[in-house]
Structure 1
């Protein structure tokens, strides 16, 4: 049952001006890069920025890509309702950056591929590549539609901002700068939008601190209300958020995003060197933690303000993701322009996510579905890339319209999107870490995992992402109902099963007899630890690095194997 929009303070002219300014700046960045890069005609320039990007803008773009408006609205509501245990995502962020930089990045970077699904063909088969590509396209279109529509609905019901005007305007602007400026425009608009998102959080936090009379009172209220009881080490896998689910399960989720998601990988392989690529991941870690801590403290502010009168249970708002917009209109409604800044922050999250998705969709379509099947000039491919960006933008807007009719299926779709990441992560991990994994083992395992995902979801799947664990006496045994697991465990389960079954089938079908090109697997010289150890060893033994040995180890495989540049050695010795 729907609840009428909040009646009280509403958007003023100044708020619309601030929101429009954010859209105008984003569009202007697209025009700027369309003009400055007008002489560049190749699809590589459009889709990867000519592989000349540096660490800082790429790092901020990585941060923005999956910090969507859902994050801006849902994280504070999560803290308000259940507590601040999601702060442990900071640990999962760190571990996922280490795994990505040490395992996946070196392989993808040295292959100089644009679509990561090209790796699946090089390592396994064309069928595996097409499976990965098609799954990515379908899921990403569904996800971007939800990212556009869901926050627009929440903001509409509280601020009174016209729903479809907001959906269409953000979709059109996003499509415009993606089509005009390519990856460079996407990266630099992400930089701007990260700043807007942080400004929106800080605005709410500062105002709440002033109203409550200091940070100490907010912390005290949150402690008394149990919102700071975060040290839950209960190993039960049915509990929604504990230290183990957030850190262990969250690490798998974020590795599947940063390690093998086209939208993220496409950014760091566009860096001008592997050093910049790895730096971008770790600078991005700072941005992730800033947004996480800001959203957590905003949730504590939300609780402190409404601890004695819950707007959700009182029926003032119809869903938890409307709590933050309600708070903004409640405490900032008398200051024209400030609510507009928060709404701009929320929509900046949508723009950054959707633009990243559009660019990634165009890249995989060109690389996986067009180039392998027809001979097209580079100039024509560049034009096709722009047309595809436009078409995918239109599709995403259309999917937002469809999302408005899907009701409860929205959360199920998001859950499916997360579950598929597990088997895909297992598939790429098999290829990179296990030299004896073969196409038979991986194809059979992947197909089985995806079939189980698409056909085995129960009717109550839509409640997994938001409902706390039910009491034990209401549940069947875990073996009978594994859906009682925390939703954060679906990704590691999918990954681990895919790896174990894939290894077994590969060994049974003679995978250990097959010799694999070393460029396609992880070798010890890919790791930072090896580079540091080798540099120190050479210096201690000879006083200088063994350049000849470095060339022997790396020269025939990759001109940019290692990323550590020391005073006496560069592991990325060119051939």
Structure 2
């Protein structure tokens, strides 16, 4: 193997330097934050951030290592079909802005799961929501761990399991530095142990996290402005916003380098587009309605609508940014301002996939044995075509690792805190944990969930297509979660029993279908396109192989092949497991709503509509059920109060 096949010494220096800089910045912020009060660190969460800054942060938060590695390989393999999915993002932004934000924004709560306790007047649904959150974030942790590990393995030759363990070890170190200031609230709004109340609260010992202990208390009984919206470790939301943006700029620059340098090597964008068109990769506007087809316009757009509505409307991290806006209208504007950046990121990632294909149209590296996984195509391309620009590959890998590191650390901070406050302290209500015991429990939970994340990463490493795996796992969990919040806001007759059974059933069914296909190794109707190795003979004589020397690679050209043919077709009952992975959130959402409706009606949920605080459900829907509503409030008081039209 030639030297250019791996990172150079300069690249290693750049990689280590940037990684050390990330750790140093975290240490400086941790030390600096000790000089400031918790109230001072809340300043960025009181509306001081502009809508442009918040919108930029929302865009940056979705530029991840999975986007950089997975999207180009998806387009390289299946063509530009995936590009059409982004048409669903503006629709999702409108849904989140007008269906969910008008409910959550005025409540001035810290955790979105607190809404579930207020809505159902009990802790059962809130605990279930927190458990779903923990599962989702653990899966996200595994994917976030695997993505940079894949890049490191590809450019260094390190075994994947070793790079995964290395990523986890560095993340633990980074998280430990961030936890030097434990009296903070993490990125997801979960209270870290040790935070003292900013204002006395007669209802709860933790003013920023637990709602009333009285199941009958409504939102009107909450102390006004009892706590500002959640801030984050190391200097508040402002730090996270600009850290997200800075790390994303490096990754975005890397994408632009791939596009510009790759197009130049391929002979220009017109030649890249021509090669893609010849191979059938310019495959827009497939309006087929077959649910067993891997992807088409309908499944792509609707998948993006569901997942992005859940992300923008029902995800703690996004709501945290919404709450930092001074008004609801400005929060909406921030979401809309995030759209150009988000769409640009996805477009550049798709275009990078076409450019990479333009360079390897006649010699597919995976078929030729140069790489082991198609997700390694971007690191391979960077080393082969940009390796002479010393330091640039190292910068690119460091940016991937840095962005993933921030995500992993935030998750390892948030899950233990949520577990402590919503699970552990609820189970042992009468037990008084000392500060030392709480900190020890949180650290043990961090290591435990980190170990689970490593297990997920090792499992993901056995699968092909990191983008598909990511969308499948997120779809399995987010479909039912969105269904839970839709039922809570728009179906006032849904009760605790219906919400719990509906969410559990929806999650189990979507997981059963999604994971069954992986276990049985059956495939949906293939839309993968052919690869060629007809031009590899000349390249094999003049170039290195990414894994092993050129002498280890056969010089004979190979036939075109389709990757999905490596998996066998389904037979009999196995056909159900070949439903498109893009429809998994539809299944979870639909089953959650159906079971919630049926169970709630059978258990008398329609009789409880009058007990629901009108601020917790959609006003238009509530008026439709006015015949079932038995309000205990003074009619004159209700009429004087009027209707807040901004909610609609």
User: TM class by shorter-chain length?
Assistant: 0.7 to 0.9
Q: Equivalent residue for 2:117?
A: 121
Task: In structure 1, list runs of 5 or more residues that go unmatched.
Answer: 527-548, 556-560, 564-570
Q: Which moved more, 1:26-35 or 1:516-525?
A: 26-35
Is 1:109–1:274's contact at 8 Å kept on the other side of the alignment? Answer: yes
Does the alignment pair 1:280 with 2:334?
A: yes
- Which of 469, 482, 494 aligns to 1:437? It is 494
* 2-structure distance, mates of 1:287, 1:551: 44
* 2-structure distance, mates of 1:13, 1:128: 54
- Give the TM-score, by structure 1 length: 0.80
Q: Equivalent residue for 1:553?
A: 642
* 2-structure distance, mates of 1:45, 1:367: 22
Q: Equivalent residue for 1:314?
A: 368
How far the C-alpha of 1:480 sits from its partner, in A, is 7.2
How far the C-alpha of 1:316 sits from its partner, in A, is 0.9
* 1-structure distance, mates of 2:272, 2:291: 31
How far the C-alpha of 1:132 sits from its partner, in A, is 1.6
- After the TM superposition, which residues 284-299 of structure 1 pair with which residues of structure 2 at under 5 Å, given as runs? 284-299=338-353
- Which of 465, 468, 471 aligns to 2:526? It is 468
* 1-structure distance, mates of 2:267, 2:336: 36
How far the C-alpha of 1:251 sits from its partner, in A, is 1.3
- After the TM superposition, which residues 330-349 of structure 1 pair with which residues of structure 2 at under 5 Å, given as runs? 330-349=384-403
Aligned length: 528
- Give the TM-score, by structure 2 length: 0.72
- Which of 398, 402, 406 aligns to 2:455? It is 402
Matched position secondary structure for 1:299: helix
Does the alignment pair 1:484 with 2:574?
A: no
Q: Equivalent residue for 1:193?
A: 247
The Cα offsets for residues 276-296 of structure 1, whole Å up to 9 and x where unpaired, read as: 432332222222112101101
Is 2:75–2:354's contact at 8 Å kept on the other side of the alignment? Answer: yes
The Cα offsets for residues 259-283 of structure 1, whole Å up to 9 and x where unpaired, read as: 2233333332344433343233222
Q: Which moved more, 1:340-349 or 1:413-422?
A: 413-422
- Which of 88, 101, 109 aligns to 2:97? It is 101
Q: Structure 1 residues 134, 397: CA separation in 2 closer, same or farther (over 3 Å shift)?
A: closer
How far the C-alpha of 1:29 sits from its partner, in A, is 4.4
Q: Equivalent residue for 2:76?
A: 80
* 2-structure distance, mates of 1:13, 1:175: 29
Bigger helix fraction: 1
How far the C-alpha of 1:304 sits from its partner, in A, is 0.3
Q: Which moved more, 1:434-443 or 1:42-51?
A: 42-51
The Cα offsets for residues 462-508 of structure 1, whole Å up to 9 and x where unpaired, read as: 5589983689x95567x973322111111012112211332233233
Q: Structure 1 residues 273, 354: CA separation in 2 closer, same or farther (over 3 Å shift)?
A: farther
- After the TM superposition, which residues 145-224 of structure 1 pair with which residues of structure 2 at under 5 Å, given as runs? 145-160=142-157, 163=163, 164-173=165-174, 176-177=177-178, 180=181, 181-182=233-234, 183-184=236-237, 185-224=239-278
* 2-structure distance, mates of 1:401, 1:49: 33
Matched position secondary structure for 2:5: coil
Q: Equivalent residue for 1:427?
A: 484
How far the C-alpha of 1:354 sits from its partner, in A, is 2.1
Matched position secondary structure for 2:642: helix
Q: Which moved more, 1:282-291 or 1:37-46?
A: 37-46
Q: Structure 1 residues 34, 336: CA separation in 2 closer, same or farther (over 3 Å shift)?
A: same
Is 2:476–2:507's contact at 8 Å kept on the other side of the alignment? Answer: no
How far the C-alpha of 1:178 sits from its partner, in A, is 6.8
Whose radius of gyration is greater, 1 or 2?
2
Q: Structure 1 residues 316, 268: CA separation in 2 closer, same or farther (over 3 Å shift)?
A: same
Matched position secondary structure for 2:377: helix
